[in-house]
Amino acid sequence: MFIATLIAKESLNERDIQSGLASLDAAGASIMRQSELIDGRALDIFFEGDPAVARERLEAMEGDIDIAVQPEANRLKKLLISDMDSTMITVECIDELADYAGIKSEIAAITERAMQGELDFEEALRGRVALLEGLDTAAIQLCLDERVKIMPGAKTLVRTMAQRDAATILVSGGFTKFAKPVAQAIGFESFHANILAEKAGHLTGGLDGPIIDSRKKDELLQSAARERNLSLDLCLAVGDGANDIPMLQRAGLGVAYHAKPKAAQAADIAIKYNDLTALLYIQGISADQWITE
């Protein structure tokens, strides 16, 4: 059996519910039952049928409603692995850091192409970092203080899952100088990111150590699941760009969050309207069970 979850940005009304039921009927699904309205915003519809066709029909509905279609089994996840930039925080750190060097537009254009999957990730990363050569490392803390904002719902998502004994891992193609404080602020138990090379208080334009790219993110997901004796069905991956696609496809549930088209197409679920708390509704966790600040 499958679950179709409708999550409204504001409120889910009877017209929305009937539209969802009609969409599933048009998809040839057999509707078994539906939940009560959850927090005025969400609804679960349990059905049998083709999940891909059901998703396609439901996503054609009008209104600011996110759609999640997934198997009923293993709905509650025990591992969360997430990208950082434009997923757990609202900005791309390298673009904002470049602003302190006066070259934001140049670097942001490359970042956008890399996220769209038009450029090799490592090549694009090393090229952008090279342009930051000579930047005072004090700019990193300034950027953290002035530009880096936690994505709405991030703390609630991570802390609620952690409270339920889920592993929480932040994986970033960005930099440890940002990932460490972000992971601590949100509540992730661990983080992985790239290391900016420094010398005499300035960036050298290079990177130290192995690169965290799409392949490495996928490897980190698999190794984390093995270490905890978890099947991939119990893993949830979240991201927004082409660099996240392998882990989105590997995880039992891959969620594209306000994502680029290629990532949204590759994922099981694409969140377009809601904040990150939508990932709790998807797991059947209502607001009265959330861990909030």
Q: Which two tokens stand for residue 103?
A: 């070259």
CA distance 14 to 26: 18
Residue of 44, 85, 95, 218 with catalytic role = 85
Nearest-angstrom CA–CA distance, 65 and 74 = 24
φ, ψ dihedrals at 278, nearest 5°? -55, -30
Residue 14 CB neighbours (<10 A): 8
CA dist 121 and 123 (Å) reads 6
Distance separating alpha carbons of residues 5 and 181, to the nearest angstrom: 33
Is 83 a residue of the active site? yes
Q: Which of 83, 218, 244, 268 is catalytic?
A: 83
Strand 235-239 to strand 253-257: parallel, antiparallel, or no bridges (unpaired)? parallel
Written as one letter, the residue type at 119 is L
Residue 46's contacts (CB-CB under 8 Å, 6 or more residues apart) are: 1, 2, 3, 31, 32, 33, 34, 72
Strand partners, 44: 5
Judge contact between 271 and 146, C-beta under 8 A: no
Strands 202-208 and 2-8: unpaired
Q: Please give the positions annotated as active site.
A: 83, 85
